Amino acid sequence: MRPGSAYSVLMIIGILLAAWVWGRITRSERRDPRLTYIYIAALAGAIVGAKAAFLLAEGWAYEDDWLALLTGRSITGALLGGYTAVELAKRRLRYASATGDAFAVIVPMGLILGRVGCLIEGCCQGAVCEAHWWTLTVGGGHSRWPIVPMEIAFNGAMLAFVLLARHRSWLPGNLFHLYLIAYGLFRFATEFARDTTRLDGTSLSGYHLIALTIVVLGVERFVKRSQSANAPRIG
């Protein structure tokens, strides 16, 4: 990611927009300064997690490419890092209300903006495949799986569902856990069509394992929250 690139600009816009939406969603409790700290913790955890996931999943393949090591990051790690940071912050601040329904809005919204940046920059490409009407031609003229448009469409669909679910009061307090499950499954399935480094002797990448971790976390937290359906929540 280059300073001043479309990805950088859209990422900054996404952070600012998410902060504004977070404030709007949590306005009923906006006098509680702990909510600001929770959002900051989520952002910091996402940044750290995104870098850690890249280094663990494929950093070893770029040991001679310092630019890739410095700029590489992963949405899968951002989700895990952000979630972990929020839970730790809430425990530290003794904040008991569920915040997931608010994050279920701002996370897919932010990822849509980020992936638009990927589309403009030509990064996070799909694997080379036979040319079809739906393939993208980028990077040396090769036809590739339209991974980035697929992820934009997925997050757009999830955002629409979350907004409807909030309006209809479906699964209160559990919408972000549902998002984690859905994104983890989506990412595991589409990872086969991504141009990422594979584990030796397999068709799997490190991101497959991270995606499964996201699914397991989402299911575990979904079940736990369902068992405590009367817990206070915001958003």
Q: Looking at residue 75, what is its pLDDT?
A: 94
The secondary structure of 10-54 as a DSSP string is HHHHHHHHHHHHHHHHTGGGTT-THHHHHHHHHHHHHHHHHHHHH
In this predicted structure, the answer to whether residue 63 has a pLDDT above a threshold of 50 is yes
Give the ranges where 99-205 is alpha helix by DSSP (H): 100-121, 147-168, 175-191
Predicted local confidence at residue 30, as pLDDT: 61
Encode pLDDT of 103-133 as tens digits: 999 999 999 999 998 888 888 899 999 999 9
Residue 171 binned pLDDT confidence (cut-offs 50, 70, 90): very high
pTM for this entry: 0.92
CA distance linking residue 161 with residue 11, whole number of Å:
23
Q: Residue 228 carries which DSSP code?
A: T
Going by pLDDT thresholds of 50, 70 and 90, the confidence category of residue 233 is low
Q: Would you say 215 and 185 are in contact if contact means Cβ atoms under 8 Å apart?
A: yes
Q: Which tokens sit at 54? A: 């890249």
Is a pLDDT exceeding 60 seen at residue 235?
A: no
How would residue 4 be classed by pLDDT, with cut points 50, 70 and 90? very low
Extract long-range pairs of 114-117: CB within 8 Å, 24+ residues apart: 114/7, 114/10, 114/11, 114/14, 114/75, 115/148, 115/151, 115/152, 115/155, 116/10, 116/152, 117/5, 117/6, 117/7, 117/8, 117/9, 117/10, 117/11
Give every CB contact of residue 227 below 8 A, 6+ residues apart in sequence.
none
Report pLDDT digits (tens) over 73-96.
899 999 999 999 999 999 999 999
Reported as a pLDDT band with limits 50, 70 and 90, residue 3 is very low
Residue 103 near residue 97 (C-beta atoms within 8 A)? no
Give residue 232's pLDDT band: very low, low, confident or very high (50, 70, 90): low
The reported pLDDT for the residue numbered 32 is 84
Dihedral angle of Cα 58, 189, 128, 51, to the nearest 10 degrees: -30
Which tokens belong to 89? Answer: 């912050």
Q: For all residues of the chain together, what is the average pLDDT? A: 90
What value does the mean pLDDT take over residues 202-226? 96
* Residues whose CB is less than 8 angstroms from the CB of residue 192 and which lie 6 or more positions away in sequence, other chains included: 127, 203
Q: Quick one: pLDDT at residue 231?
A: 59
SS3 202: coil
Q: Are 57 and 210 in contact (CB under 8 A)?
A: yes
- Mean pLDDT lowest among 10-19, 40-49, 134-143, 171-180: 134-143
Q: Could you tell me the end-to-end alpha-carbon distance of the chain, in angstroms, rounded to an integer?
A: 33
